[in-house]
Amino acid sequence: MRILGIDPGLNCTGYGLVAHDPPSARLVEGGVIRTDASASLEVRLATLAQGIRGVVSDLDPEVMVVEDLYAKYEHPRTAILMGHARGVILLAAAERGLQVAAYPASLVKRALTGHGRATKEQVASMVVHLLGLAQAPEPRDVTDALALCLCHAAPMRLEGRRGALPERLARALADQGAVPRRERR
């Protein structure tokens, strides 16, 4: 399955395509779509829409994965602008007939590292490890987009929070010393 992860932003939207052929997951392409901060909002949105349509057309994914709608922003204005970008991205998916999946940030962290409060760095390490990369792609928006792909690919996501980790993920977690927390009773 070809999974397209998108990390929406008006200035910079990260994307990444992962080809998932269980148990392997391979990075096909990652990148960003930038818009000109001096242009009008509507022109920036048109640039973003054009970029996303190009990515979808070139990479031919079966699903688009985005972070769930989130509301915890320090600046409400930034959150609303992100909403503009996310709206245009989801529209591009719908008009292409693409399935959309959305996961909360905590689930992405848990699917990759075993716990929902992992740091950005721990998540990035797991992206690098699971995709067999030399280092985390820059800018960070690309790595965040790839984390969404891997969350979608993780069987753990489907099996619930106490489900078994896939072998490779479990090995990687052991390597990282990132052992899933468990509550004793």
Residue showing tokens 């509507």? 42
For 66, how many CA atoms within 13 A lie in the half-sphere containing its CB? 22
Q: Which is nearer to a copy of itself, 80 or 164 (CB)?
A: 80
Q: Tell me if 43 contacts a copy of itself by CB under 8 A.
A: yes
Q: Tell me if 63 contacts a copy of itself by CB under 8 A.
A: no
Q: Tell me if 55 contacts a copy of itself by CB under 8 A.
A: no
Active site residue 60: no
Q: Tell me if 76 contacts a copy of itself by CB under 8 A.
A: yes
Q: Tell me if 46 contacts a copy of itself by CB under 8 A.
A: yes
The tokens for 51 are 């970029």
- The amino acid present at 149, given as its one-letter code, is C
Three-state DSSP string of 52-96 = HHHHHHHHCCCEEEEECCCCCCCCHHHHHHHHHHHHHHHHHHHHC
Q: Tell me if 170 contacts a copy of itself by CB under 8 A.
A: no
Which residue among 1, 12, 91, 133 contacts a copy of itself (CB under 8 A)? 91
Cβ contacts of 124 within 8 Å, gap of 6 or more = 136, 140, 143, 147
Which residue, 69, 53, 56, is CA-closest to 105? 69
Q: Tell me if 82 contacts a copy of itself by CB under 8 A.
A: yes
Q: Indicate which residue of 7, 21, 58, 95 is catalytic.
A: 7
Active site residue 68: no
Active site residues: 7, 67, 141
Q: Which residues form the interface with a copy of itself (CB under 8 A)?
A: 40-43, 45-46, 49, 69-73, 75-77, 79-88, 90-91, 93-95, 100
